[in-house]
């Protein structure tokens, strides 16, 4: 799919279809909301989010070794410069005994981040999305 087709078909739909497979179960999603701190030359940006769950395996392992993970996905559409930023956070839910990961962390339900002294994935995701800033808009070309 070329760049023009992506723009015509809707970047959010393209990113969703390319990032999340048909094995994904969507748990929550939001419609596009304006993000005023991310406006450029008066053109506001929008943020669309989704949370889903899917089974995924590492490396060349097959589906039988898939771990269950929660996926947090945000698409920040920077309309003023004609580009998108994709933020993803992956949270393990269940580690399959056949997975390579089971040798390192053990099989079964994943240990919640809070029990390990870490910030929960949902909080990491919220912080990443709400604190995202562009410090140098020229990154997006000479017109920015």
**pLDDT tens across 17-69, in order?**
555 544 667 777 776 777 768 889 889 999 988 898 988 887 788 888 889 99
- 81: which residues sit within 8 A by CB, 6+ positions away? 40, 137, 140, 141, 143, 144
pLDDT at 61: 85
pTM for the full predicted model: 0.77
pLDDT of residue 5: 37
% of the chain residues with pLDDT over 90: 46
Residue ranges per structural domain of the chain? 3-134
3-state SS, 98-139, equals: CCCHHHHHCCEECCCHHHHCCCCHHHHHHHHHHHCCCCCHHH
Residue identified by tokens 């004609």 is 82
pLDDT at 140: 87
At 7, the pLDDT band (50, 70, 90 cuts) reads very low
**Is pLDDT larger for residue 51 or for residue 15?**
51
């Amino acid at each position: 799919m070329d760049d023009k087709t992506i723009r015509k078909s809707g970047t959010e739909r393209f990113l969703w279809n390319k990032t999340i497979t048909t094995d994904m179960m969507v748990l929550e999603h939001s419609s596009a909301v304006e993000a005023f701190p991310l406006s450029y030359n008066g053109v506001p940006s929008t943020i669309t989010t989704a949370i889903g769950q899917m089974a995924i395996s590492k490396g060349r392992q097959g589906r039988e070794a898939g771990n269950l993970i929660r996926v947090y996905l945000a698409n920040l559409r920077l309309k003023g410069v004609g580009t998108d930023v994709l933020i993803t956070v992956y949270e393990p839910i269940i580690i399959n005994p056949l997975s390579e990961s089971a040798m390192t962390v053990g099989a079964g339900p994943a240990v919640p981040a809070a029990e390990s002294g870490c910030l929960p994935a949902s909080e990491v995701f919220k912080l990443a999305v709400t604190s995202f800033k562009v410090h140098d808009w020229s990154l997006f070309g000479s017109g920015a």
